[in-house]
Structure 1
Amino acid sequence: MKSPHFNPPVIGLLAALCVALGHLLAAVPNIELLTTGVFISGYWTGMVSGIAVGGIAIGLYSMLNPYGMAPPPLFVAQILSYTIVGGVAGVLGRRIRRIGWKAALLFAACGLCFTVLYALLTTLAYVLTAGNHRVLFWGSLIQGLGFYVTHMITNTVFFFLLVPFILNRLDRLGWTSELRGSVHE
C-alpha cells in the first residue's frame, strides 16, 4: 500500500479554484459549482487531500462571502458537509476505474445525497443559532423547500453531466494519473 502523499500547493490551488467556482454563480440562489469542484478535486487527489480541499474551500468561501460570514454553528456545518464531499470523492476515485454511464449515475446520486446532507446540517445549524426548537427546524425545512429542491436538482444535474465530462478530459490529458502518482492517498 502506498504511503499517503500530501501536496499543499495542489490543495491550495484546487481550493482557490473551488472558491472561484462558488463565486461564479453567487448571484443565483442555490445554484452553485463549489460542491462540484470539491468533488472533482477529491476524486482527483484522494481522500485526505479531498477533505483538505473541501474544508479550505468552503471555509474561505464562507469567510469571504459578500453577505457576511456565517454564524459559528453554520460555519461548522458547512465545513463538515464539504469535508465529507471531498473525502467521499477521494474514496470513489480509488475505486472507480472507468467513467461511463454507471459512474455518471453514481455521481448524480452523490450530488443529490450531498445536497440533502448540506440542507439538513445547515438547517439544523440555523435552528441551533436561532432558538433550538423542533418546530423551527421543520418550519425552516418547509419554508426553504423551493430553494432546497432547486439546489438538489442543479447539483444532481451538475454531478451527472460535469463530473464525468471533466474527469474524462483530465484523464485524456494524462493529468489524472500524473496527479494521483504524486498526491493520491
Structure 2
Amino acid sequence: FIFVFFNPYGVSPLPLFAYQIGHYCLVGILGGITSSYLNKKEFFKPEEDLYVSRVLVIFAIIGAVITFVYDFFSTLIGAIAIFGTLETFWITYIIGLPFTTVHLIGNTLGFIFILPGLIQLLYRMLDISEEQ
C-alpha cells in the first residue's frame, strides 16, 4: 500500500501495482512458513534470545533474497510498463544499482538487527509461548 500510493513518482502503473501487491502477499506467506520451520528448531528461542549466529544468518539471507527479488522484478516490470520495451530494463537496472545496493544492505541489516528484537517484542505483547 505505502509503496504503491505514496510513491514520489505517483501511483504505480497497473502491472507494477499488481506485482507489488503479489510480492508482499508472498512475503507474508514466506514469513508464516519460516515461522513454522524455525519454531521446530532448537536454536530458535524467541522467549530467550534470537541474537544468535544461526538465526541471524537465516534472517540475513531471507532479507537479502526478498529485497533482491523485489528490486529485480519491480525494475523489470516498471521498465516494461513505463517504456514499453525490454531493452530499457538493463539500462534502468544499471542506473539503479546504487539504490539497489543501499536497499540490499539496509534491508539485510534490518533483518539482522531489528527483526529478532521485533519478534521477541511481539511474542511478549501477544503472549505467545512454546506451550501453546
Structure 1 counterpart of 2:121, from 145, 169, 175 = 169
Residues 35-57 of structure 1 show CA distances to partners (whole Å, capped at 9, x for unaligned) of xxxxxxxxxxxxxxxxxxxxxxx
Whole-angstrom distance in 2 between the partners of 1:76 and 1:145: 23
Please tell me whether residue 123 in structure 1 is matched to residue 75 in structure 2. yes
CA–CA separation in structure 2 for the residues paired with 1:81 and 1:125: 12
In the TM superposition, 1:129-144 aligns within 5 A as 129-144=81-96
Q: Structure 2 counterpart of 1:175, which letter?
A: L
Residue 88 of structure 1 is matched in structure 2 by 30
Task: Give the Cα separation in 2 of the matches to 1:127 and 1:176.
Answer: 45
> Which letter does structure 2 place at the counterpart of 1:177?
I
Query: How many Å separate the matches in 2 of 1:112 and 1:152?
Result: 6
Once residues 94 and 83 of structure 2 are traced to their aligned partners in structure 1, the CA distance between those partners, rounded to angstroms, is 17
Distance 1:66 1:137, change over 3 A: closer
Note if contact 2:56-2:112 (Cα within 8 Å) is conserved in structure 1.
yes
**Alpha-carbon spacing, 1:145–1:161, altered in 2? closer, same or farther (3 Å):** same
- Residue in 2 that maps onto 1:61: 2
Q: Which amino acid aligns with 2:14?
A: P
1:174 Cα offset (Å) = 5.7
Partner SS, residue 72 of structure 2? helix
| Larger CA Rg, structure 1 vs 2 | 2
User: Is the 1:104–1:163 contact (alpha carbons within 8 Å) kept by the matching residues of 2?
Assistant: no
Find 2:108's aligned residue among 149, 156, 167: 156
Cα distance in 1, alignment partners of residues 127 and 116 from structure 2: 13
Q: 1:150: how far off?
A: 0.5
In structure 2, relative to structure 1, the CA distance for the partners of 1:83 and 1:142 (3 Å cut) is same
Structure 1: tracts of 5 or more residues without a match: 1-59
TM-score (structure 1 length as normaliser): 0.58
Which ranges of 4 or more aligned residues in structure 1 deviate by more than 4 Å? none
The one-letter amino acid of 2:2's match is Y
Distance in 2 (CA, whole Å) between partners of 1:149 and 1:168 is 28
More helix as a share of residues = 1
> What's the secondary structure of 1:96's corresponding residue?
helix
Amino acid in the other structure paired with 1:73: P
**Does the C-alpha gap of structure 1 residues 81 and 64 become closer, same or farther in structure 2, counting only changes over 3 Å?**
same
Equivalent residue pairs, number = 119
Distance 1:66 1:140 in 2: 17
Question: 1:108: how far off?
Answer: 1.0
Deviation at 1:121, TM superposition (A): 1.2
